[in-house]
């Protein structure tokens, strides 16, 4: 029995030694093998990077847009400036665009005060009660087709008159000429008929002549003799009275006529100067530069020549 117990004890000791040996080997392996690294913690790194790229791309697009739009519509420039683009505010191209817009709004840029216009130029010809035209005044004739007929005008302003009528049509406004060049004889006939009209209404002949002269120029002093003036109306309103100013045709003419070298010849507030009633239908060619000054400063032809004429 004692021998059996001794054998079991020996076996137990061997088992214990085996477990001890395994534990020692495992511990040694653990001490010599490096631990497996943990995966990196990304947090916001991956999301921040795309955000940064997007912002950078957005800024680049804004810059490209500002650069490419500086020569285009002013509304785009304005939008860019509103968004905070300092480049647009200081860029000279933007100033040019703004000036162009002002011109389309009839806010013309006047010429330098030192500028002058020679009164002997054909487009500076003044015809009024105090300045009758030279006897046998002549000009090269051309025609402008309107309202079913050819109207005689000075050949030197014909193309600008055609261009003005065409430009209005493109904007949906119909302009028609109802009077252009008139001979001395026709002017005399019209003048005398108007005088007789007032005599029939009870005016004395002297008063009838004076009244007529504010409406129809005395023969020899009419702008219609020059070939540089035309009465322009619209199909929906062809009456020559002050109500023409309420039409779209008048609004278009007033805002755009100077671009083509024409001016409203007899403004409402210049009757004391022109000695002619307000005629919103009467337009006179004076050249593009002079026209823009006159319309910008709100002066009539007489005042213009007084200020700038030499």
Residue 51 lies in a domain: no
Residue 204 lies in a domain: no
149: domain range? 122-182+222-308
Q: How many separate domains does the chain show?
A: 3
Q: Do 146 and 176 lie in a common domain? A: yes
- Output the DSSP codes for 116-178: -B-TTSGGG---BTTBPPPTT----EEEEEETTEEEEEEHHHHHHHHHHHHHHHHTT---EEE
Query: Mean pLDDT over residues 23-39, rounded?
Result: 47
Residue 155 lies in a domain: yes
- 114-128, 188-202, 221-235: which range is least confident on average? 114-128
Chain mean pLDDT for the chain: 75
Show the tokens assigned to 244.
Answer: 């023409």
Q: Do 126 and 161 lie in a common domain? A: yes
Q: Is 113 a catalytic residue?
A: no
Q: Do 98 and 145 lie in a common domain? A: no
Q: What is the pLDDT of residues 61-101, one digit of tens each?
A: 333 333 333 333 223 233 322 333 333 333 333 333 333 33
Identify the pLDDT of residue 20: 62
pTM of the model: 0.63
Q: What is the pLDDT of residues 174-215, one digit of tens each?
A: 999 999 999 999 999 999 999 999 999 999 999 999 999 999
231 has pLDDT over 70: yes
Dihedrals phi, psi of 194, to nearest 5 degrees:
-70, -40
Identify the pLDDT of residue 181: 97
Q: Do 243 and 288 lie in a common domain? A: yes
Q: Do 127 and 24 lie in a common domain? A: no
Q: Do 169 and 26 lie in a common domain? A: no
Residue 139 lies in a domain: yes
* Residue of 279, 289, 302, 306 marked catalytic: 279
Residue 160 lies in a domain: yes
């Amino acid at each position: 029995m004692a021998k059996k117990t001794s054998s079991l004890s020996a076996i137990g000791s061997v088992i214990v030694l085996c477990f001890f040996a395994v534990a020692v080997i495992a511990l040694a392996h653990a001490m010599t093998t490096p631990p497996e690294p943990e995966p990196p913690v990304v947090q916001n790194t991956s999301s921040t990077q795309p955000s940064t790229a997007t912002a950078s791309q957005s800024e680049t697009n804004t810059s490209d847009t500002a650069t490419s739009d500086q020569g285009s519509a002013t509304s785009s420039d304005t939008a860019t400036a509103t968004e905070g683009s300092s480049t647009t505010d200081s860029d000279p191209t933007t100033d040019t665009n703004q000036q162009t817009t002002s011109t389309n709004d009839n806010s013309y840029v006047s010429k330098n005060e030192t500028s002058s216009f020679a009164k002997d130029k054909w487009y500076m010809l003044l015809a009024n009660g105090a300045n009758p035209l030279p006897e046998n005044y002549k000009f090269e004739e051309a025609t402008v087709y309107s309202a079913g007929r050819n109207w005689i005008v000075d050949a030197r302003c014909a193309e600008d008159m055609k261009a003005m009528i065409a430009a209005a049509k493109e904007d949906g406004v119909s302009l028609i000429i109802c009077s252009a060049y008139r001979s001395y004889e026709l002017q005399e006939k019209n003048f005398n008929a108007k005088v007789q009209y007032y005599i029939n209404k009870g005016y004395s002949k002297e008063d009838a002549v004076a009244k007529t002269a504010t409406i129809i120029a005395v023969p020899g002093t009419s702008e219609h003799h020059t070939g540089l003036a035309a009465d322009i109306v619209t199909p929906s309103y062809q009456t020559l009275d002050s109500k023409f100013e309420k039409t779209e045709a008048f609004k278009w003419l007033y805002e755009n006529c100077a671009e083509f070298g024409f001016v409203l010849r007899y403004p409402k507030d210049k009757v004391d100067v022109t000695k002619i009633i307000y005629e919103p239908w009467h337009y006179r060619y004076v050249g593009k530069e002079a026209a823009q000054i006159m319309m910008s400063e709100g002066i009539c032809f007489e005042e213009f020549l007084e200020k700038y004429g030499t």
